[in-house]
Amino acid sequence: MNYKNTLLALCLLAATGTAFAGNPERQGEAGAAQLLINPWARSAGLHSMNTSSVTGTDALYLNVAGLSRINKTQINLSHTRYMSGADINLNSLGFAQRIGSNGAFGISLVALDLGELDLTTTDTPEGSGATFSPSFFNLGVSYSHLFANRVSVGFTVKFVNESIANAGASAMAIDAGVQYVTGEDDNFKFGISLRNVGGKMRFTGEGLGVQNDGNNPTFEYPITYYQRSAEYELPSQLNLGASYDFIIGRTNRLTVLGNFTSNAFSRDLVGGGIEFGLGQNFALRAAYKLELDTPEGSVEASLDNGLAAGMSVSVPLSKESKSRLSFDYGYRNTSIFNGIHNLAVRIDL
């Protein structure tokens, strides 16, 4: 493996992300904001600041390069209460399977549950008594490859969909990432990830049709005109992160990490965190995220700036194998409602 070429690829990836990165003036111009909600509890407890060290199914959201750093098979079922009290939830399924000695394949399905909404029309603006439920989901297929236990690379192809009964929008997107591990005990890690790079979305469907009488005095029949909705882009972002593991005793670990996020359609983010691991059985983590150049008290600030915390409890399924059952929890403070809560069950085979 030529590490010089790998480092060159890292630089090119960072430059690519910087090339389309925007500024606060573009805030609100992108759609599909659900792509920026982390559905996985372990990385959510670190405020998605562990670009350099995220592994397994959690890497399907943040940095797909970490997907290949699993033992054999990992299954992750996660439920997220987004802004608790607002009745918005995410349900997620992640699957990772090692292929050969260095590769890994992954699938992720994330669905946003907005509940039942009142159906309103121009004739019944106060509601007709009927309800509808929007369908927002994204499906990702990923591959990651590990080179000599030092450098891992990966990419994800995602299908993004937003729809109601009579209108919808969809697009394809790509994620890519790199992780580099070095140090005497493989305790220094560096990571770069590029997320949500893809085509524009536009709503189409029968719901955009408008009827009139055709303006024909001879033949009176309705004519349907279809309005063309505006296009919108995906919320692309670039993440740069580093971490260092302090080994305590034979099996315990204290990780210190930092991360910078460049958003194409909002302000940049910087943050850091710590994670303490007691062997493979218990982990406790906390992080802090800050949005740069945000006026104090501004209503434009991200809702989940500030503190995040989480924990994991893991137990072996048998003495003969490395199979484990883990329970993960993550919490992110929000400026309104009662925070974001992530609960997950993870099985490692």
In this predicted model, what pLDDT tens digit does every residue of 309-349 receive, in sequence order? 999 999 999 888 789 999 999 999 998 889 999 999 999 99
pLDDT digits (tens, 9 = 90+) for 200-209: 999 999 888 8
Lowest mean pLDDT among 8-12, 94-98, 128-132, 146-150: 8-12
Residue ranges of domains in the chain: 3-348
70 and 104 Cβ atoms separated by less than 8 Å: yes
Lowest mean pLDDT among 137-141, 155-159, 202-206, 345-349: 202-206
pLDDT of residue 177: 95
pLDDT of residue 129: 84
Taking residues 89-104, report their average pLDDT: 96
pLDDT band at 269 (very low <50, low <70, confident <90, very high): very high
pLDDT digits (tens, 9 = 90+) for 222-266: 777 778 888 999 999 999 999 999 999 888 999 999 999 999 888
pLDDT of residue 297: 60
pLDDT of residue 273: 97
pLDDT of residue 153: 95
Taking residues 185-191, report their average pLDDT: 93
pLDDT digits (tens, 9 = 90+) for 114-125: 988 888 887 888
pLDDT band at 21 (very low <50, low <70, confident <90, very high): very low
Cβ-defined contacts of 93-99 (< 8 Å, 24+):
94/40, 94/57, 94/58, 94/60, 95/57, 96/56, 96/57, 96/60, 96/67, 96/70, 97/72, 97/73, 98/68, 98/70, 98/71, 98/72, 98/73
Which of 212-237 are b and which e, b meaning 16 or more Cβ less than 10 Å from the residue's Cβ? eeeeeeeeeeeeeeeeeeeebbbbbb
pLDDT at residue 53 tops 60: yes
pLDDT at residue 183 tops 50: yes
| Whole-angstrom Cα Rg for the chain | 22
pLDDT at residue 215 tops 80: no
At 212, is the secondary structure helix, strand, or coil? strand
Taking residues 196-222, report their average pLDDT: 80
Strand partners for 73: 97
pLDDT of residue 347: 96
pLDDT at residue 281 tops 70: yes
Q: How many CB atoms lie within 10 A of CB 343?
A: 14
Q: Six-digit token pair at 261?
A: 């996020």
Sign of CA dihedral 342, 156, 274, 325: positive
pLDDT at residue 221 tops 50: yes
pLDDT band at 10 (very low <50, low <70, confident <90, very high): low
Lowest mean pLDDT among 24-28, 130-134, 265-269: 24-28
332 or 217: which carries more pLDDT confidence?
332
Q: Distance (Å, rounded) from C-alpha 267 to C-alpha 80?
A: 24
- Amino acid 32 reads A
pLDDT of residue 23: 58
In sequence order, what are the residues at sequence separation of 6 or more whose Cβ sits closer than 8 angstroms to the Cβ of residue 88?
A: 81, 82, 112, 113, 114, 115
Instruction: From 111, 106, 48, 44, select the one nearest 75 (Cα to Cα).
Output: 106
69 and 153 Cβ atoms separated by less than 8 Å: no
The arrangement of secondary structure in 3-348, i.e. its CATH architecture, is Beta Barrel (2.40)
